[in-house]
Amino acid sequence: YSPFGNQNEIYSGGQGMGKLMDDPVLVEVGKKYGKTGAQTALAWGIAHGHSVIPKSKTESRIKANLEGDFKLEPEDVKKIDGIDKKLRFNDPSGNFGWNFYADLDGKKA
């Protein structure tokens, strides 16, 4: 679900998380391959065996997303793994009265 993370600040709940595809690590790794941060995020998801289904209504972005099918070197996958910020942009916990993401602080629920 949503391999690009938050694309709309309205969902950030004041966390100021910004756009994942603009993360300096994704941008840096992407430059190595001549790819964008978004394409690099897709390649990282594929490297982990995820089915990545990016959403876009813009033709140029749809075409660019199809170029996210390159293979990252293992050290680049590890570098991107380190981005983990323990954030969720779509957290329905409050609506259901249940903490779905209790492990975001790194502790067991």
Rounded to whole angstroms, how far apart are CA atoms 86 and 88?
7
Number of domains, the chain? 1
Q: What is the mean pLDDT of residues 87-96?
A: 73
pLDDT value, residue 65: 83
pLDDT value, residue 40: 94
Q: What is the mean pLDDT of residues 24-51?
A: 94
pLDDT in tens, 39-64: 999 999 999 998 888 888 889 888 98
Supply the range of the domain harboring residue 38.
1-13+20-85
The amino acid at 84: D
The full 3-state SS of the chain, as one line of letters, equals: CCCCCCCCHHHCCCCCCCCHHHCHHHHHHHHHHCCCHHHHHHHHHHHCCCCCCCCCCCHHHHHHHCCCCCCCCHHHHHHHHCCCCCCCCCCCHHHHCCCCCHHHHCCCC
Q: For the whole prediction, is pTM greater than 0.85? A: no
Q: 74 lies in a domain?
A: yes
Q: 44 lies in a domain?
A: yes
Query: 72: pLDDT confidence band, cut at 50, 70 and 90?
Result: very high
